[in-house]
Amino acid sequence: MRAYQDMVFSTAARLTGNDAPAEDIAQETFLRAYENFAHLRASPTAGGWLKTVTTNLALNHLTRYRKRWRFFSELKIDDAEEDSAGLAYESAVPDTLLEHLGSEQRRAVIDDALRRLPEHQRVALVLYHFEDFSYQEIAERLHASLAKVKTDIRRARAALLPMMLSAGIAP
């Protein structure tokens, strides 16, 4: 468990953008792993299995919460942030990003930036850049059109850039 707990927690936290449910999801993942311990203990793909289960649990969690709270809490946020994200990036794309920071500092800055993205953009971006999903796989997993997934990811990138460049964080 110790070998994988950071990976499992990171995956859940980046997808949900929230540490509390991420810890719940990580716990559930390891409980399921324990139930399948006989198969996993000698399996070379245990890490992949854990990552898949974590991703599925996180996406299920997000779907449940979206349905429950969308009307009050997310619809307005999404719309407002969608507009600003739709402006795209105004500054030129630099050659490097946050290179002057240590890896832990860089991680904290980027994880905070990811949390600030609207959920549908963050999830698509995390699945693409961290989990190696293709656009098509993301579209199928999120029950969205391919065009929407591409747009969400492009907007997420455009929104991340100024967040990282601002406040003197980037060189």
Binding site for another protein (CB under 8 A): 1-2, 5-10, 13-14, 17-20, 23, 26-27, 30-31, 34, 69, 71-73, 87-98, 103-104, 106-107, 109-113, 115-116, 129-130, 154, 157-158, 160-164, 166-167, 169
- Closest to another protein by CB, 59 vs 131, is 131
- Closest to another protein by CB, 30 vs 49, is 30
Nearest to 47 by CA among 2, 82, 98: 2
Q: How far is CA 5 from the centre of its chain?
A: 17
Q: How far is the CB of 129 from another protein (least distance, A)?
A: 4
Q: How far is the CB of 121 from another protein (least distance, A)?
A: 13
Q: How far is the CB of 141 from another protein (least distance, A)?
A: 19
Q: How far is the CB of 142 from another protein (least distance, A)?
A: 19
Distance CA 70, CA 75 (A): 6
Other Cβ atoms closer than 10 A to 95: 7
How does 141-168 read in b/e, with b if 16+ C-beta sit within 10 Å?
bbebeeeebbbbbebbbbbbbbbbbeee
